[in-house]
Amino acid sequence: MGPAGQALERSAGAAPRALRAAAGLAASAAIVMAVHASEPGPDGSADPGARADALVRTMTLDEKIHLLHGTLGFAYEGRPAPAGAHGGAGFVAALPRLGIPALQLNDGPLGVRNIDGGPEGRATAMPSSQALAASFDPGLAFESGRIMGREARDRGFNVLLAGGANVERDAWNGRNFEYLGEDPVLAGRIVTAQLRGIQSQGVVSTVKHLVANSQETDRGFVDMAADERSLREIDLLPFEIAVKESGVGSVMCAYNKVNGVYACENARLLNTLKAEWGFKGWVMSDWGATHSTAQAANAGLDQEFWEERYFAGALKAAVEKGEVSAARIDDMVRRILRSLAAVGALDRDEPVRLVDAAAGLAVAQRVAENGIVLLENRNALLPLSADRLRTIAVIGRRADIGVLSGGGSSRVDAIGGVTLDDTPPGTDPDLAMFASTGWHHSSPLQAIRGIAPSAKVEFDPGEDVKAAARLAASADVAIVFAWQTRTEGEDLRSLSLPAGQDELIRKVASVLTPWAHEVGAVLEAWYPGNRGAEAIASILFGRINPSGRLPVSFPRAEADLPRPRPPEPRADASNPKTAPAHSPVVTLGEGLAVGYRWYDSQKKLPAYEFGYGLSYTTFAYSKLTVNRDLSVEFDLANTGKLSGTEVAQLYLEFPAQAGEPAKRLAGWARVELAPGERRRVRISADPYALRAWDTSTGEWRRPAGRYRMHVGASSRILPLAQEIDVRDVQPD
Ligand code: BGC
């Protein structure tokens, strides 16, 4: 359906919905009053819980059950799209009698997905979540969330399945680009800001996938085994921060089992979320991740997606048999309605429209500019001079057209379009976004031509290594755009670059540098999104001084990883129905030692460490003081010749008896300094970094003893350190 059709359909009703419902009811005055009482005040201040309660009181059991399961919002396997659906990943039809709008859900987390594929459904393709995390910039995460929320709303969606918060335990994971790196506090703070930004636009957001969904192989049935303390301190922590700090309206439970029980029927897990953290929103299952009716409902699952096997008729029957209480059903419904009311989505009645592309692209470019990481810059090769270069070779697959995107449900149909490669013949079009390599239309070749108009810029796709090397030899500088696809539903089988690119880069480098087999400069651009090429060109030519820092450690070799080999699949991982009787168990044996904590504990050197990234200027750290509240102050100076932004980082070491890995990120500050400028910088330790889980009491503690605070430019470049004694405290 085109936008005009959608607008027509949606304008059929008149706002406000609750009033309309009440007027249309052959209902008692008491109901009308109850619904009236739940109307928002003129300042929008009505208590969303009270509004939800008022509605729940007026609902029949069938109406309640109706809200507790949803289907796909698009045509699939011969079934037409449900009437009124806007083509999103999920849909629950409206309840007009009650003025409850349809739930229109869509992915997330890198922008608004366009499943039906019409050009009017295009939206801003944000850079990967790794790039966002690499910015270390919650303010920018809010901005990018704000754009995604606005665009979701413009496209007629009121729930965005955004907020990928699984901690990267494993470089193999096909979905790492949807997540925010290996540090739980960084991931938690960035996702919190992003969720707030999304919800500021009147759209409910979702944080996913709870929890330990750190591999795609066998994801529908694999059993992730982890000890309580590691789950609390690592995997659950970003979710805890998001739930407590962002007001996120929904949580998606994961496909996998956690310690023997499917996440979506895991009472222990879901109780932690609701009873302990005070989560007031609803838990929805990942698509096809519900495995039972009474067990799941009683464990805390509130809504089933997408097969409607367990929470439709079967749930009603379970209520009638007394297996699930009426009170629990009310709780499930209340949670959904409350979250919708809290962001204003219960009252929404506006036309579907095209997104504001210019606003989205500007923010996408800023995220890429702040998230791209300069890894190497030998002899200050970068920034390039647009005036001095006469010939530039641009080499690499599709570098004339676009930048790479990850695959799967998070792939956004970018503004400008997407080109798909590698789709195996006969692939179901619905699955092409999982099976193919996709390129957002943001052309490196065009961007470089634009920024260096007097140079002759020539392109070679890099398929024929000799031809590429010849072009490189004839140029003043060669820029190779290397790529590596990741996709949902599949883990990497090798961490090396695919399609002979190592050889390509080596050959190109050897004709151009006196130090054969090494290149002059390396930029990690992640999947840089809808304006990725423009951001890369701005950095290459020095319009932007790079300030991104790695949110993940890069290993020197696969053998250095906690799991040196990729997971071996048991069955078709993309099909949860093929679950074997006994789930394969993956033990997260590294425990707390995730990412940089792993390298520290193994005394191994990564190729590039967490927190690392170069700038075109240099910074110096001095004069550290540590305060009693574990905040730190220090002098930071720009000792180079260009303005630049440093991400100054605070790490803390717990007292040895706490049994923690060597150090953890406790805070950071993005500081912009002019050449020669010096500033006193203060970083407070994040309260969530100041806790250790005490397994014997089942509580958080800040163990007494001698803490060591480190300050510097990465998890390994830590020029300042000081110790301080801390008394044993139980954090709030
Ligand atoms: C993914 C979720 C996604 C859902 C709906 C699932 O396959 O795991 O992240 O939100 O599909 O598209």
> Which pLDDT does position 631 carry in this prediction?
95
- The closest of 715, 728, 564 to 651, measured between CA atoms, is 715
Instruction: List, for residues 377-414, the tens digit of each pLDDT value.
Output: 998 999 999 999 999 999 999 999 999 999 999 999 99
Q: Which DSSP category does 423 fall into?
A: P
Mean pLDDT of 69-73: 97
Q: Whose CA is nearest to atom 5 of ligand 1?
A: 89
- The closest of 9, 46, 45, 25 to 98, measured between CA atoms, is 25
Instruction: List, for residues 541-556, the tens digit of each pLDDT value.
Output: 999 999 999 999 999 9
- Which residue from 112, 191, 285, 287 has its CB within 8 A of the most atoms of ligand 1, so it is best to mutate? 287
Average pLDDT, the chain: 91
> Which pLDDT does position 559 carry in this prediction?
95
Tell me the C-alpha distance between 331 and 327, whole Å.
6
Q: Residue 198, SS3?
A: helix
pLDDT higher than 80, residue 581: no
∠ at Cα 408 (593, 404), nearest 5°? 85
Band (pLDDT 50/70/90 cuts) for residue 582 is confident
Provide the total of helices (H) and of strands (E) in the chain, helices listed first. 21, 29
> Which pLDDT does position 310 carry in this prediction?
98
Q: Which atom of ligand 1 is nearest to the CA of 255?
A: 8
Percent of the residues in the chain that have a pLDDT greater than 90, as a whole number: 83
Which residues make Cβ contacts (< 8 Å) with residue 612, sequence separation at least 6?
373, 375, 549, 550, 713, 714, 715, 716, 717
Selecting among 107, 137, 170, 286, the annotated active-site residue is 286
- Which residue from 173, 264, 410, 488 has its CB within 8 A of the most atoms of ligand 1, so it is best to mutate? 488
> Which pLDDT does position 579 carry in this prediction?
66
> Which pLDDT does position 335 carry in this prediction?
98
Tell me the C-alpha distance between 405 and 528, whole Å.
8
Percent of the residues in the chain that have a pLDDT greater than 70, as a whole number: 91
Tell me the C-alpha distance between 660 and 71, whole Å.
44
Q: Which atom of ligand 1 is nearest to the CA of 90?
A: 5
> Which pLDDT does position 363 carry in this prediction?
98
Residue 576 Cα to ligand 1 midpoint, Å, equals 12
Q: Give the bridge partners for 210, in sequence order.
A: 253
Residue 114 Cα to ligand 1 midpoint, Å, equals 14
∠ at Cα 670 (666, 676), nearest 5°? 125
Q: Which atom of ligand 1 is nearest to the CA of 164?
A: 9
- Which residue from 173, 255, 285, 286 has its CB within 8 A of the most atoms of ligand 1, so it is best to mutate? 286
> Which pLDDT does position 25 carry in this prediction?
27
Tell me the C-alpha distance between 455 and 459, whole Å.
13
Query: Could you tell me which residue, 298 or 46, shows the higher pLDDT?
Result: 298
Query: Could you tell me which residue, 82 or 14, shows the higher pLDDT?
Result: 82
Instruction: List, for residues 14-70, the tens digit of each pLDDT value.
Output: 222 222 222 222 222 222 333 333 444 433 447 999 999 999 999 999 999 999 999
Residue 260 Cα to ligand 1 midpoint, Å, equals 22
- Which residue from 105, 160, 161 has its CB within 8 A of the most atoms of ligand 1, so it is best to mutate? 161
Q: Which atom of ligand 1 is nearest to the CA of 489?
A: 7
Instruction: List, for residues 255-293, the tens digit of each pLDDT value.
Output: 999 999 999 999 999 999 999 999 999 999 999 999 999
Mean pLDDT of 199-227: 97
> Which pLDDT does position 729 carry in this prediction?
61
Query: Residue 229: enclosing H or E segment and its boundaries?
Result: helix 228-230
Q: Which atom of ligand 1 is nearest to the CA of 105?
A: 5
pLDDT higher than 90, residue 253: yes
Please name the residue that has the structure tokens 């406000």.
16
Q: Residue 580, SS3?
A: coil
Q: Whose CA is nearest to atom 8 of ligand 1?
A: 286
Residue 713 Cα to ligand 1 midpoint, Å, equals 36
Q: Whose CA is nearest to atom 7 of ligand 1?
A: 287
The answer to whether the Cα torsion of 90, 92, 96, 101 is positive or negative is: negative
Q: Whose CA is nearest to atom 11 of ligand 1?
A: 287
Residue 281 Cα to ligand 1 midpoint, Å, equals 19
Please name the residue that has the structure tokens 């250095």.
560
> Which pLDDT does position 23 carry in this prediction?
27
Q: Which DSSP category does 168 fall into?
A: -
Residue 104 Cα to ligand 1 midpoint, Å, equals 14
Which pTM was predicted? 0.93
Mean pLDDT of 122-127: 98
Which residues make Cβ contacts (< 8 Å) with residue 359, sequence separation at least 6?
147, 150
Instruction: List, for residues 466-492, the tens digit of each pLDDT value.
Output: 999 999 999 999 999 999 999 999 999
DSSP string, 354-405: ---HHHHHHHHHHHHHHH-EEEEEGGG-PSP-TTT-SEEEEESTTTTT-EEE
HSE at residue 698, side-chain half, CA atoms within 13 A, is 3
C-alpha distances out from residue 441 to 145, 417, 451, 577, Å: 21, 6, 17, 36
Q: Which atom of ligand 1 is nearest to the CA of 254?
A: 8
- Given a contact cutoff of 8 angstroms between Cβ atoms, the answer to whether 648 and 720 are in contact is no
- Which residue from 71, 74, 107, 218 has its CB within 8 A of the most atoms of ligand 1, so it is best to mutate? 107
To 10 degrees, the CA torsion angle through 410, 413, 416, 420? 90
Q: Whose CA is nearest to atom 6 of ligand 1?
A: 287
Please name the residue that has the structure tokens 């393709």.
125
> Which pLDDT does position 695 carry in this prediction?
95
Q: Residue 638, SS3?
A: strand
The CA-to-CA distance between both ends of the chain, in Å, stands at 51
Q: Residue 511, SS3?
A: helix
- 3-state SS, one letter per residue, for 97-141: HHCECCEEEEECCCCCCCCCCCHHHCECCCCCHHHHHHCCCHHHH
Please name the residue that has the structure tokens 């699984």.
166
Stretch among 399-403, 421-425, 432-436, 512-516 having the lowest mean pLDDT? 512-516
* The pairing of beta strand 204-210 with beta strand 103-107: unpaired
Distance of CA 471 to the CA centre of its chain: 38
Mean pLDDT of 349-363: 94
Q: Which atom of ligand 1 is nearest to the CA of 161?
A: 10
Band (pLDDT 50/70/90 cuts) for residue 429 is confident
> Which pLDDT does position 510 carry in this prediction?
77
Residue 29 Cα to ligand 1 midpoint, Å, equals 43
- Given a contact cutoff of 8 angstroms between Cβ atoms, the answer to whether 601 and 593 are in contact is yes
* The pairing of beta strand 159-161 with beta strand 477-480: unpaired
* Residue 594 backbone class (left: φ over 0; alpha: ψ -120 to 50; beta: rest): beta
> Which pLDDT does position 74 carry in this prediction?
95
pLDDT higher than 60, residue 586: yes
Q: Which atom of ligand 1 is nearest to the CA of 178?
A: 9
Q: Give the bridge partners for 105, in sequence order.
A: 90, 159
Residues in contact with ligand 1 (CB, 6 Å cut-off): 89, 107, 161, 208, 286-287, 409
Residue 92 Cα to ligand 1 midpoint, Å, equals 16
Band (pLDDT 50/70/90 cuts) for residue 578 is low
Beta strands in 28-87 (DSSP E): 69-70
> Which pLDDT does position 46 carry in this prediction?
78
Residue 253 Cα to ligand 1 midpoint, Å, equals 10
Is 286 a catalytic site residue?
yes
> Which pLDDT does position 576 carry in this prediction?
56
pLDDT higher than 90, residue 690: yes
- Given a contact cutoff of 8 angstroms between Cβ atoms, the answer to whether 92 and 103 are in contact is yes
Residue 306 Cα to ligand 1 midpoint, Å, equals 10
CB atoms under 10 Å from CB of 121, counted, come to 24
Q: Which DSSP category does 567 fall into?
A: P
Instruction: List, for residues 178-211, the tens digit of each pLDDT value.
Output: 999 999 999 999 999 999 999 999 999 999 999 9
Query: Residue 31: enclosing H or E segment and its boundaries?
Result: helix 29-37
Q: Whose CA is nearest to atom 2 of ligand 1?
A: 286
pLDDT higher than 80, residue 1: no
pLDDT higher than 70, residue 165: yes
The answer to whether the Cα torsion of 37, 43, 45, 48 is positive or negative is: positive
